[in-house]
Amino acid sequence: MVSIIELLAEGVSFLYSNDIEGSKNDAEWLLAHVLNCSRLTLNLNGQTTISKESETQFREQLLRRARREPLQYILGKVDFHDIKLKVDARVFIPRGETEILVEWLINHINKCMGNTFSDGENFPSLNILDLGTGSGAIAIALAKRFPKSCVFAVDRSPLALEVTRENMRRNGVNNLQLFTSNWYSAFEGDQELFDIIVSNPPYLTRQEFDTAQDEVRRYEPVSALVAEEEGLRDIRIILDGAQRFLKKDGVAAVETGILHPQRLQKIYGKRFRQTEILKDLNQFDRFFIAYR
Ligand SMILES: C[S@@+](CC[C@H](N)C(=O)[O-])C[C@H]1O[C@@H](n2cnc3c(N)ncnc32)[C@H](O)[C@@H]1O
């Protein structure tokens, strides 16, 4: 029988020899997942021996990771903002940058609605639309934070929406409605419906995708990542639609590629009352905000 500490050391060295960045971190996550415990528990119980079954399971997962399958797909879960989400190959893995967008929106809503929210009362009843919801990361985080608001989330992929539905259930959210839709097509014929439109749409160029890490290129859905017209096509559909679907004083907040915000400012600067560019944690221009 092998102990936790021995198996972990073997896992780290296997991943390292397969050029996996963060091999210690990944091996710990995988073993903790197999044993259904925390990483701290692993480290506190290094001499404990492991069943043959768990050992086999761990080795299978190490192989998947060595083939560059993203850690989050193997674990089947990811933490996002203050929620936990199921993820698998049907959906894009939510990224840390997008948490900045969610946090910005929460601050904007709090500031602009003039509520403190400290006592859990007086939540605003806004109509919020998340375009291209994938796992539901943005929509579910906002629906939980603003329980009196109606959140609408669309995705073109019915398979992705199966995962969103599961994540709604896991997070106990019921103020969120899902639509299979090509961007705004589910709302065709309407206008001025939403106070907030938020999106993390596909924005990589084909060339950026072709040179992305194997984890992204080989495992994540290409339809979630790549956009025509130098990565701008979907962003432009979203901002063009925002001019019509936002209520007066509403705001559109979109995650973009780092070269996009300056170009968007030129195109949309005069079409909206005000526009703004926000940076990500690496100080790259990453988000474009447009106020109707
Ligand atoms: C980069 S992923 C973002 C997923 C999620 N919002 C997040 O931040 O983790 C983009 C999402 O847009 C969806 N999508 C792509 N084209 C679309 C379209 N024409 N209409 C609706 N959704 C679309 C993809 O299926 C994918 O789920």
Exposed, middle or buried, 229 (CB in 10 Å: 0-12/13-18/19+)?
A: exposed
Where do the domains of the chain lie, and which CATH numbers do they carry?
2-67 (1.10.8), 78-291 (3.40.50.150)
In the 8-state DSSP scheme, what is residue 190? Answer: -
Radius of gyration of the chain (CA): 21
- At which residue do the structure tokens 């960045």 appear? 21
Using the mean position of ligand 1's atoms as its centre, give its distance from the Cα of residue 38 in Å. 32
Using the mean position of ligand 1's atoms as its centre, give its distance from the Cα of residue 160 in Å. 9
Tell me which residues of the chain have a pLDDT lower than 70: 113-122
Phi-psi region of 287 (alpha: psi -120 to 50; beta: other; left: phi over 0): beta
d(CA 71, CA 286): 25
pLDDT at 120: 53
Nearest residue (by CA) to ligand 1, atom 24, is 224
In 3D space, the residue among 184, 163, 150 whose CA is nearest the CA of residue 80 turns out to be 163
Q: What is the CB < 6 Å shell around ligand 1?
A: 92, 94, 98, 132-135, 137-138, 154-157, 160, 181-183, 200-202, 223-224, 234
Using the mean position of ligand 1's atoms as its centre, give its distance from the Cα of residue 135 in Å. 9
Using the mean position of ligand 1's atoms as its centre, give its distance from the Cα of residue 249 in Å. 25
d(CA 165, CA 170): 9
Predicted confidence (pLDDT) per residue in 47-71, tens digit: 999 999 999 999 999 999 999 999 9
pLDDT at 111: 87
CA-133 nearest atom, ligand 1: 6
User: What is the best residue among 223, 228, 240 to mutate for testing ligand 1's pocket, by most ligand atoms within 8 Å of CB?
Assistant: 223
d(CA 118, CA 111): 13
Q: What is the pTM of this model?
A: 0.95
d(CA 273, CA 250): 10
Using the mean position of ligand 1's atoms as its centre, give its distance from the Cα of residue 94 in Å. 11
As a whole number, the mean pLDDT across the chain is 95
pLDDT at 118: 46
Predicted confidence (pLDDT) per residue in 118-142, tens digit: 445 567 899 999 999 999 999 999 9
